[in-house]
Structure 1
Amino acid sequence: MIHPALRRKQRILFSLFLGMIVVTIIIGMGLGYSSLSYDRLIPTLFGHGTFQEEFVLFSIRLPRMVVTLLAGMALALSGAILQGITRNDLADPGIIGINAGAGVAIAVFFLFFPIETGSFTYLLPICAFFGALLTAGLIYLFSYHRNTGLDPVRLVLVGIGFSMALSGAMIVLISSAEREKVDFIAKWLTGNIWGADWPFIGALLPWLAILIPITLYKANRLNLLSLGEPVAIGVGVSVERERITLLLIAVALAAAAVSVTGSISFIGLIAPHIAKALVGPRNQLFIPLAILIGGWFLLIADTIGHNLIEPNGISAGIMVAFIGAPYFVYLLLKK
């Protein structure tokens, strides 16, 4: 039974972060290399702007912000799930190598397979999913012990090892590739929001629309898994089946996000921690907040980085790392 006061606090915080997202989007719509005055935003949104104003808003700014927001939400939810099923506060799809696995799959697909323009956008998340799934399966296998089950500390260490090995494999892959393709992979590695167009929103949105409700439905099972295997087994939870199902969801969310934004770490680490600090560890309460925090965090990081140095700015992955890396070290020392 969740106390009504805690529910009320969650709703207030949910509305607050939703409002912060809206404010950030409004501010972001007026910033950029091509100026768009704020007094022209509403007329332009309703189709009464000039050709230049509508092009800047609907073809450049809005799709980029929506892609960034959705990707941040997906990464935050993926991190929350991974932390729950591994019982490790340091779990994040970027840190434990899942993003790197998705990246290698994308690089192989991009470098060695014929690409059709119409299907490229929708094949990327699927390709990234299989790469991330293979990596996650291997990490899980090496972290699992028959007698003691999944070792949370070993999981992070094995994941970091896989991430470094896959980064080396990425360098080998791109060392003999064409210059144009190498430029694309290099931008992907730095977490540059490259899929900033409406078709990429269509490729990313269905994953979130399907997997967020499933995760919220399984929130109570995730609570039990977080307490440990003996407790979960004692109340009748099929531990391995639930853990594998939730791991597949986490991998799918991370793969879909990084396939259009590039390699971005630490969103899945920071957002769940902030949400837990605000409303407690129950997944029913903190997951909706973590989703909004992750989306807002990546959105504001990209908005600041994109406008910091004209015309190209600093990639969102680097901006997030400025905050996320020290926080990771802090958690590592704390634990």
Structure 2
Amino acid sequence: MIHPSVLKKQRLYLILLSLLIVATAVVGLGLGYSSVSYDRILPTILGNGDFKEEFVLFSIRLPRMIITVLAGMALALSGAILQGISRNDLADPGIIGINAGAGAAVALFFLFAPIDAGSFVYILPLIAFGGAMITALGIYLFSYNKRTGFEPVRLVLVGVGFSMALSGLMIILISSAPREKVDFISKWLAGSIWGTDWPFILALLPWIIVLIPFVLWKSNVMNILNTSEPVSIGVGLPLKKERFIMLMTAVALAASAVSVTGGIAFVGLMAPHLAKVLIGPRSQLYLPLSILIGGWLLLFADTVGRNIAEPDGIAAGIMTALIGAPYFIYLLLKKS
């Protein structure tokens, strides 16, 4: 039973975070290489703008912002799941190699597979999911000990090893690739939001609509997985089955996000931590906050990054790394 005052506090944070996302989006709509006057944003959205205003808002800014918010939400929830099932506060899909697995699959597909422009957008999340799933299974197996079972402490170390190996594979792949394909993969690795059109939103949205409610429905399972293994087994939870289901869910969320944003790290690390600081460690309370914090973090990073150095800006992945790396070091020092 959650105390009504805590639920009220959670609702207040949800409202404030939603308003923060809207405010950041409004500021971002007016900023950029082709600026739009703030007093013209609402009329343009309502259909009363000129050609330039409508093109900038509907073809460039709005789809990019929606993509970043949705991807940030997916990455944050993926990080929360990984931290829960591994009981390791340093777990993040970018840090432990899941993003690298998705990136390697995307690179192989982009370099060697025949690409159909019409289906490319919708196939890419599936390709990324396949690469991320193979990587996650490898990390899981190498983190498993026959005598003691799954060892959460080894997860980050094994994941970092996989990430470095896959990054080396990516360098080998692009070293002999055509220049135009190398440019795309380089931008993907840097976390440059490349899927900035409405079809990419349609490709990402089904994963979000299905998986976010599923994880929230599994909140009680997440609470139990956060406890020790004897407690989880003692309450009758099929530990291996539930851990595997949640792992695949985390992989699907991360892969669908990075397939349209590129390699983004640290959002899945920071968002769950900030949510727990605000509301506590109970899954029913902090998971919804994590989702909104993740969406805002990536939107904020992309908005700042694309306006620092015009016209190309700084990739959102680099911005999140600049914010997240010091936080990661802080957590390492705190745990040591």
TM over 0.5: yes
| Deviation per residue, 1:222-275 (Å, 9 max, x gap) | 100110211111011000110000001000000000000000100000000000
1:284 aligns with 2:284: yes
Offset at residue 146 of structure 1 (A): 2.1
Q: Counterpart in 1 of 2:7?
A: 7
| Deviation per residue, 1:115-145 (Å, 9 max, x gap) | 0000000000000000000000000000011
- Provide the rounded CA distance (Å) in 1 between the counterparts of 2:133 and 2:119: 21
Q: Counterpart in 2 of 1:124?
A: 124
1:229 aligns with 2:233: no
1:28 aligns with 2:25: no
Q: Counterpart in 2 of 1:241?
A: 241
| Deviation per residue, 1:154-187 (Å, 9 max, x gap) | 1100000000000000000111110000000000
- Provide the rounded CA distance (Å) in 1 between the counterparts of 2:63 and 2:221: 35
- Provide the rounded CA distance (Å) in 2 between the counterparts of 1:94 and 1:69: 17
- Provide the rounded CA distance (Å) in 1 between the counterparts of 2:256 and 2:228: 29
Offset at residue 93 of structure 1 (A): 0.2
Offset at residue 151 of structure 1 (A): 1.3
DSSP-derived class of the 1:306 partner: helix
Amino acid corresponding to residue 41 of structure 2 in structure 1: L
Q: With the length of structure 1 as denominator, give the TM-score of the two structures.
A: 0.99
- Provide the rounded CA distance (Å) in 2 between the counterparts of 1:40 and 1:213: 36
- Provide the rounded CA distance (Å) in 2 between the counterparts of 1:174 and 1:11: 47
Offset at residue 300 of structure 1 (A): 0.5
- Provide the rounded CA distance (Å) in 1 between the counterparts of 2:309 and 2:27: 17
- Provide the rounded CA distance (Å) in 1 between the counterparts of 2:231 and 2:305: 45
Q: Counterpart in 1 of 2:57?
A: 57
Offset at residue 281 of structure 1 (A): 0.4
- Provide the rounded CA distance (Å) in 2 between the counterparts of 1:224 and 1:149: 17
| Deviation per residue, 1:302-323 (Å, 9 max, x gap) | 0000011110010000011111
- Provide the rounded CA distance (Å) in 1 between the counterparts of 2:84 and 2:324: 19
1:186 aligns with 2:186: yes
Q: Counterpart in 1 of 2:114?
A: 114
Unaligned runs of 5+ in 2: none
Offset at residue 147 of structure 1 (A): 2.4
Q: With the length of structure 2 as denominator, give the TM-score of the two structures.
A: 0.99
DSSP-derived class of the 1:34 partner: coil
- Provide the rounded CA distance (Å) in 2 between the counterparts of 1:248 and 1:3: 32
DSSP-derived class of the 2:246 partner: helix
The aligned runs of 1:33-52 (5 Å cut-off) are 33-52=33-52
Unaligned runs of 5+ in 1: none
The aligned runs of 1:1-335 (5 Å cut-off) are 1-335=1-335
- Provide the rounded CA distance (Å) in 1 between the counterparts of 2:316 and 2:96: 19
Report the aligned-residue RMSD.
0.6
Amino acid corresponding to residue 215 of structure 1 in structure 2: V
| Deviation per residue, 1:60-88 (Å, 9 max, x gap) | 00000000010000000000000000000
- Provide the rounded CA distance (Å) in 2 between the counterparts of 1:144 and 1:295: 33
| Deviation per residue, 1:182-213 (Å, 9 max, x gap) | 00000001000000110000010110100011
Offset at residue 279 of structure 1 (A): 0.5
- Provide the rounded CA distance (Å) in 2 between the counterparts of 1:20 and 1:148: 45
- Provide the rounded CA distance (Å) in 2 between the counterparts of 1:179 and 1:254: 28
Runs of 4+ aligned residues of structure 1 deviating over 3 Å after TM superposition are none
- Provide the rounded CA distance (Å) in 2 between the counterparts of 1:228 and 1:197: 44
- Provide the rounded CA distance (Å) in 2 between the counterparts of 1:6 and 1:150: 34
Amino acid corresponding to residue 266 of structure 1 in structure 2: F
Amino acid corresponding to residue 234 of structure 2 in structure 1: G
- Provide the rounded CA distance (Å) in 1 between the counterparts of 2:68 and 2:290: 15
- Provide the rounded CA distance (Å) in 1 between the counterparts of 2:66 and 2:190: 20
Offset at residue 150 of structure 1 (A): 1.6
Amino acid corresponding to residue 81 of structure 1 in structure 2: I
- Provide the rounded CA distance (Å) in 2 between the counterparts of 1:142 and 1:20: 41
Amino acid corresponding to residue 58 of structure 2 in structure 1: F
Amino acid corresponding to residue 89 of structure 1 in structure 2: D
